[in-house]
Structure 1
Amino acid sequence: MLLAEQALNGLQYGMMLFLMAAGLTLVFGVMGLINLAHGSLYMIGAFACAAVAAATGSFWLGMAASLAAAAAAGAVVEMAVIRRLYARDHLDQVLATFALILFFSEGTRWVFGSFPLYLTLPSALSGAVTLPGGLQYPVFRLVIIAVGAAVALGLWLLITRTRLGIRIRAGEADREMIGALGVDIARLYTIVFALGAALAGLAGALVGSIQSVQVGMGEPVLILAFVVIVIGGIGSVKGALVGALLVGMTDTLGKALLPGLLATVMDPSSANTIGSALASMMIYILMAVILIARPQGLYGARA
C-alpha cells in the first residue's frame, strides 16, 4: 500500500513537473533561449488563480484566469524584452531573464503582499477516492495526473498533426529557411512563448491548490524543470514527459524508501538524516548518469 501510494505521488509530481518543463523545452528548443523567468510565469498563474477564485468564489474561473494571465504575461514579455535577446549571447539572456525574476517577484509582492494565499478546492475535487486494492487517494492529485496526461496528448497532437506544429518543428530545425518561405517568425515565437507560459501558469495554479501561493514559489521548481529537460533532451516534448516522470518517481520513492532501507543497517536517526540527504541528491545523480551515457539527453537530437 505504501509503495502504491508513493508511486502515485511520484506520478503526480512528475506530471506537475512536465507541465512546467514542456513550455520551457519548447522555448529552449525553438528559440534557443535560456529563460530563467519561466518560474515567474508559474508564480503569476498561481496568484491569478488564487486572486480570481477569492474574488468570484469560483475555482474554475480561477483556473481559466491562471492560463490567461500567464499567457498574456508571456506574450508581453516576449514582445517587450525577449525579442531583443534572440541574437544575443546566452549570458545576456541569463542576465535579462534573471532581472525579470526580480521584477515579477517585487511586483507580485507589491500587489498581493508578502503573505501566502490559499485556494479552496470545490467539493467535486476534494476528499479521497478508493482505488482498487482499498487504497484511499486524494481526488485532486488524480486530477493533476489526468491533466498532465491530457496536456501531453494535446501537445503531441499539436506538434505532429497541425500546421502550427509543423512550423514549430521547422523553426526548431532552421528558422532562417522558414522565414525565407514567408512564415512570420516574430508571431510564431510569440505564440510559442505564450503557450509555454500558459502551461507554466496552469502548473502553478494546480500546485497552489495543494500547497500555498507565495512570492518566489517558482524558483525551486525552475531548477527541477531544467533538470527534466536536460534529462529528456532539449526541445523534445516526449523527452520532457519521460524526464519529468523519472525525476518525480526518483525523488518521491527515494524520500519514502531510502530512510527505511538505511534503518536496517544503522540507527533510525542517522538513517533518516542520511536517507533524506541521499534522496535529494538522487535526481542529480540520475541526470549525471544519463548525460554520461547520452550527452544530448534521452530524446534530444545530436548536434
Structure 2
Amino acid sequence: MESSFYLIQLLNGIQYGFLLFLLASGLTLIFGIMGIINLAHGAFYMIGAYLCYWLTGITGNLFTGILLAIPLSILFGYAVERLAISHLYNRDHLYQVLLTYALILIANELQSIFWGNDVHSVAIPEVLKGSIQLTDNQAYPIYRLFISSACIVLAILMYWVIQKTKLGMTIRAGASNREMVQALGININWLFAIVFSMGATLAALAGMLSAPVNSVYPGIGDNILIISFVVVVIGGIGSIKGAFIGALLIGLADTFGKVLLPEMASMVAYALMAAVLFWRPQGLFGKV
C-alpha cells in the first residue's frame, strides 16, 4: 500500500479521535464533578445531529444550522438537568442508571415523532466540498479537515475556560472537593446546571459536526456512547487531559484496526482499554 493511504488513515483516526474527545470531555466532566453516570450522553449526540439536519434544511446552510442548534442544545441540556438529573445527586448510582436509560428511550421516541425513522443526509457547504490531492489517485476531503480544525479550536477554548477563568477554577474546585466549594458559599446547584449543560452541548456539537459525514439515523448515539465510556476509562475519570489522549488513542486504534486487523477490528478498542487498566487501573491521568 502507498504511504499516502496510511496518511489518510492517520488523518481519519485523528479526526475520529477529536470527535470522541468532544463527547468524552463532557462525559468525564459530568461524572467527575457531579458524580452522575449519564447513559443518556449518546442521546445528546443524536439530538445534536437531528437539530443540525433540521435547521440546515430550513436555512439551507450548515454553518447557520449549527449556530442555531447550539443554543437549543444548551437549553435542552439545562432543562434535562433541572427536571431530571437534579433529583439524582443524593441517590445511588442504580437510580442514575435507570433514569438516564429512561432518558434514552424518551429521546428516541421524540426523535421518531419529530423526524421519523428514515436515514437523512446533511449537505456539506460548497466551500468545504472539495478534496486535497495527496497523490495521483489519493485525495482527502476538506470537510474532514474542517472537523479536525473545529475540534482543535474547541479543545483550546475548553482548556482556556477550565484553566484560566473563574468559572473553570470553580469547576476544578468542585471536582476536587465538592463539600468545600459549598462551604465557601458557591451555589453548587448552579455549578452543576452549567457543567451538565456544557457536557450536553459538547456531545450535541459532536453530532452536528459528524452529521454530514455519517448521515443522521435513529440510534446514532448508541454505539458512540459505549466507545465514549471506553475513552473516559482509559483517560481517567474526571480528567480532560486524559479524555483528549484517550480519544486520540482510541481513534487511531479503531481506524488502523479496521485496516490492518479487519477480523478483529471490533475488539481493538476494548483490548487497548484492558491493557491500560492492567497497567494503570485508575486510567492514564486518573487519581489514585
Confirm whether residue 206 of structure 1 aligns to residue 209 of structure 2: yes
Confirm whether residue 166 of structure 1 aligns to residue 152 of structure 2: no
Structure 1: tracts of 5 or more residues without a match: 259-275
Shift, 1:133, TM fit: 10
- CA deviations 1:149-190 (Å, max 9, x no partner) are 111111111111000000001101111111111111111111
SS in 2 for 1:209: helix
The separation in 1 between residues aligned to 2:136 and 2:98, in whole angstroms, is: 51
> Which letter maps to 2:156?
L
- CA deviations 1:21-60 (Å, max 9, x no partner) are 1111110111011000111111111111110110111211
Contact 2:46 2:221 in 1 (8 A): yes
Where does residue 298 of structure 1 map in the other structure?
Answer: 284
> Which letter maps to 1:288?
A
TM-score normalised by the chain length of structure 1: 0.91
> Which letter maps to 1:234?
I
The CA RMSD over aligned residues, in Å, is 1.4
- Aligned residues between the structures: 285
Confirm whether residue 39 of structure 1 aligns to residue 25 of structure 2: no
Where does residue 110 of structure 1 map in the other structure?
Answer: 113
Shift, 1:98, TM fit: 0.0
After TM superposition, list the pairs within 5 Å mapping 1:186-225 onto structure 2. Answer: 186-225=189-228
The separation in 2 between residues aligned to 1:279 and 1:134, in whole angstroms, is: 26
Structure 2: tracts of 5 or more residues without a match: none
Shift, 1:135, TM fit: 5.2
The separation in 2 between residues aligned to 1:229 and 1:221, in whole angstroms, is: 12
The separation in 2 between residues aligned to 1:130 and 1:242, in whole angstroms, is: 29
The separation in 2 between residues aligned to 1:248 and 1:48, in whole angstroms, is: 25
Confirm whether residue 236 of structure 1 aligns to residue 239 of structure 2: yes
The separation in 2 between residues aligned to 1:39 and 1:224, in whole angstroms, is: 10
Change (3 A) 1:133 1:155: farther
Shift, 1:76, TM fit: 0.3
The separation in 1 between residues aligned to 2:115 and 2:138, in whole angstroms, is: 39
SS in 2 for 1:49: helix
Percent of residue pairs bearing the same amino acid type: 47
Where does residue 7 of structure 1 map in the other structure?
Answer: 10
SS in 1 for 2:214: coil
Contact 2:5 2:138 in 1 (8 A): no
In the alignment, which of 59, 63, 77 is matched to residue 62 of structure 2? Answer: 59
Where does residue 262 of structure 1 map in the other structure?
Answer: none
The separation in 2 between residues aligned to 1:214 and 1:241, in whole angstroms, is: 27
Contact 1:28 1:234 in 2 (8 A): yes
> Which letter maps to 2:267?
M
Q: Which has the larger radius of gyration?
A: 1
> Which letter maps to 2:11?
L
Where does residue 272 of structure 1 map in the other structure?
Answer: none
SS in 2 for 1:210: helix
Where does residue 122 of structure 1 map in the other structure?
Answer: 125
- CA deviations 1:215-270 (Å, max 9, x no partner) are 21101000000000000011111100100000010010111122xxxxxxxxxxxx
After TM superposition, list the pairs within 5 Å mapping 1:168-187 onto structure 2. Answer: 168-187=171-190
> Which letter maps to 1:47?
Y
SS in 1 for 2:140: strand
Contact 1:66 1:198 in 2 (8 A): no
Where does residue 28 of structure 1 map in the other structure?
Answer: 31
The separation in 1 between residues aligned to 2:215 and 2:115, in whole angstroms, is: 13
